[in-house]
Chains A and B, each alone.
Chain A
Amino acid sequence: MDLLQRFTHGEIDAFETLVRQFQGDIYAWTVRIVRDPGVAEDLTVETLWRVYRARYRFRPDGNFGAWARRIATNLAIDHLRRNRPEQSFAAEPAGGPCPDPLLQRETRERIRQAFRRLPAKLQVAATLALVEELPYDEIASALGTSVGAVKLRVFRAVRILRKRLSQAGIRPE
């Protein structure tokens, strides 16, 4: 019996081998989304626990890594939803691009704040596509959707962000 079959039968040794093989990949994927090592570790443990609990639903001829990554993505989206900042940021008079590094730092912080207020699904698609620059098909597979849907989410994220930043008087340099 191969490793994945033994895993679906609930053999803990097989599961341990899979955890050791895939924990790095799941963590790397999660930390790219949540951008916090501590949170990413907790979510990776939670992902692996859910993977074990759902082992009966996994087909041994399937792609274990892709399946685990999808579970991790859903957990990361839930985490972003739960921790979405509520308050809006104060508007400031619009200004041109500023060379002052302190102001640039502040502008970036406000862009990050505005970005974290986006709906979680848009945030994840935009983070993976624009910040991490990962291929759209890889993102689509992890989100369980089509490449077209991912492109649409990224487009919507950019448009909403542009509108909010403009309303707050922030002009990215």
Chain B
Amino acid sequence: MKEHEDKYMTEHNDRQIREALKQSFPPVNTELRRDLWPDVLRRLDARQVGVPWYDWALVGLSAVMFLAFPRLVLVFAYHL
């Protein structure tokens, strides 16, 4: 009997929480107010110009390797 009552109370509370949530969050306007294409295009341009940091790291590492071991240039050229 007690178990049944507890279950009923839990379900009742859950229903209250669901109802309270609906009341606590007013509906939002889902209409887009402006065209976002110019922003997307700007973002595309901005990201295309930038070179990722790992590319620069690779260039730096290669330069250091070639300066430290000049013969590596021959090995590298052979594999190219």
Chain A residues near B (Cβ < 8 Å): 16, 19-20, 23-24, 27-28, 31-32, 35, 37, 41, 44-46, 48-49, 52-53, 107-109, 111-112, 115, 126-127, 130-131, 158-159, 161-162, 165, 172-173
Contact = CB atoms under 8 A, between A and B. Distances in A.
Q: Looking at chain B's contact residues, is the secondary structure mostly helix, strand, loop, or mixed?
A: helix
Contacts of B19: 172
Given A19-B37, A19-B40, A108 B30 contact: no
Interface of B: 13-14, 16-25, 28-37, 39-40, 43-44, 47
B29 to A, nearest CB: 7
A16 B33 CA distance: 18
Most chain A beta-carbon contacts within 10 A, residue among B17, B25, B30, B34: B17
Contacts, number: 85
B40 A48 contact: yes
A167 B77 CA distance: 70
Contacts of B20: 107-108, 111, 172-173
Contacts of A109: 24
